[in-house]
Amino acid sequence: MSKKFEMFFVSMVMMFLLAACGGNNEESPEANNNDTEVKEENAEANGANEEAAADAEFTIRAGIGLNNEHPQYKGLEKFKEIVEEETDGAIHVETYHSGQLGDDRTMMEALQLGSQEVTVPSTAPIANFVSDFSIFDFPFLFPNSEVADEVLDGEVGQKFLDKLDDQNLKGLAYWENGFRDLTNSEKEVASVDDFEGLTIRTMENDLHLDAFRAMGANPTPMAFTELFTALQQGTVDGQENPFATIYLEGFYEVQDYVSDTHHIYSPFVFLMSKSFYDTLPEDYQEVVDNAALEAGKYQRELNREANDEYLDSLVEEGMTFTEISDEAREEMRLAIEPVVEEYAAELDQDLVNEVYQAIEDAQK
């Protein structure tokens, strides 16, 4: 069975099981993502889960695309710890990684349908549900993560989260994916000219596609769950993700070159199914609100350490590192500027101005 078909088959089976189980999971998901083997400990954990779930009033199934080594998953475990402790086990949290419950879009749709309770996607796929979110994927928008924190955790960030309600999604907090960097298997990329002809996988987001086209690359949208295989088989030459993901997902095994393009600061959004959230009593709603924020702080901290640490590890694994100069980064920004202006014109102008203003204020 081909890997892709296997993934598709497993996703279908998972969706069926989740829908059939309704409130409580009685089956352990057995899914294989990329080359990440389903860990035995996962099956064991799910065995323990079954008992705890049986005693619980509510079960939250929380799934992400990245693997269980990633700070995103550690954040999810922290969320579980806080929620179960604070509710004395009345809310039971099951955590799934590596796309075991599907890719970002599938999981968001499952939240809308009420067959999954939590996921933590990047803002890029969220823009397909609430288009205003695409502003957070404007290349070179946030100068650093401190400014991003201030804007996202502030009033304007909350306005975006509120927009998710209409989609039956409850946005509880911003977590962090981080600054995205380019890898490929063909050549060193030091300047905008070097993008010419490279086939690059991007997230499923039109702005990302247009931005890479503007730099001369040949972008292809693809779910994260398909990425490792696509790189391995040479379906695409490259991809872009923060160093932590590049290292922890083992992309260095199938990619030779890495450049610190830092072209987009990618936030994660902690999402809950709104129909599920609305069934929780008020005190439990408060618990999940605070847990999403607390776990987010912890996740951001781990994520920043990981992104600082793993470039060296990528070089140790044999990747060639190309440092992007300030001038080269400015050339990239200029190449993408018309795309950003075009997308900005399509969005809620007051909100766009508020974001720009908040970024300026955060730098004062």
* Strand, helix or coil for residue 1: coil
Nearest to 64 by CA among 248, 238, 326: 248
| Contact status, residue 120 vs residue 269, Cβ threshold 8 Å | yes
Q: Does 177 bind ligand KDG (CB under 6 A)?
A: yes
Q: Which of residues 257-286 bind ligand KDG (CB under 6 A)?
A: 266
- The minimum distance between CB 358 and ligand KDG, in angstroms, equals 23
For the chain, first and last CA: distance in Å?
A: 57
- The minimum distance between CB 266 and ligand KDG, in angstroms, equals 6
| Contact status, residue 311 vs residue 324, Cβ threshold 8 Å | no
Nearer to ligand KDG, 104 or 149 (CB): 104
132 residue type, one letter: D
**Stretches 31-39, 119-127, 272-280, 292-300: which one binds ligand KDG (CB under 6 A)?**
119-127
| Contact status, residue 62 vs residue 117, Cβ threshold 8 Å | yes
**Euclidean distance between CA atoms 338 and 335, whole angstroms:** 7
Strands (DSSP E) found in 97-195: 118-119, 169-179, 181-184
Residues paired with residue 267 on neighbouring β-strands, in sequence order: 176
Q: Which of 29, 65, 157, 296 binds ligand KDG (CB under 6 A)?
A: 65
Nearer to ligand KDG, 87 or 259 (CB): 259
Q: Which of residues 238-257 bind ligand KDG (CB under 6 A)?
A: 241
Q: Which of residues 67-106 bind ligand KDG (CB under 6 A)?
A: 72, 104
Q: Which of 142, 160, 224, 228 binds ligand KDG (CB under 6 A)?
A: 224
Q: Does 205 bind ligand KDG (CB under 6 A)?
A: no
Return the number of other C-beta atoms located less than 10 Å from residue 76's C-beta: 28
> Residue with CB nearest ligand KDG?
65
Q: Which of residues 294-353 bind ligand KDG (CB under 6 A)?
A: none
289 residue type, one letter: D
Q: Which of 76, 127, 152, 203 binds ligand KDG (CB under 6 A)?
A: 203
Q: Does 181 bind ligand KDG (CB under 6 A)?
A: no
Nearer to ligand KDG, 183 or 266 (CB): 266
CA dihedral 93, 95, 99, 102 (to 10 degrees): -20
Binding residues for ligand KDG, rule: CB under 6 A, are 64-66, 72, 104, 120-122, 177, 203, 224, 241, 266
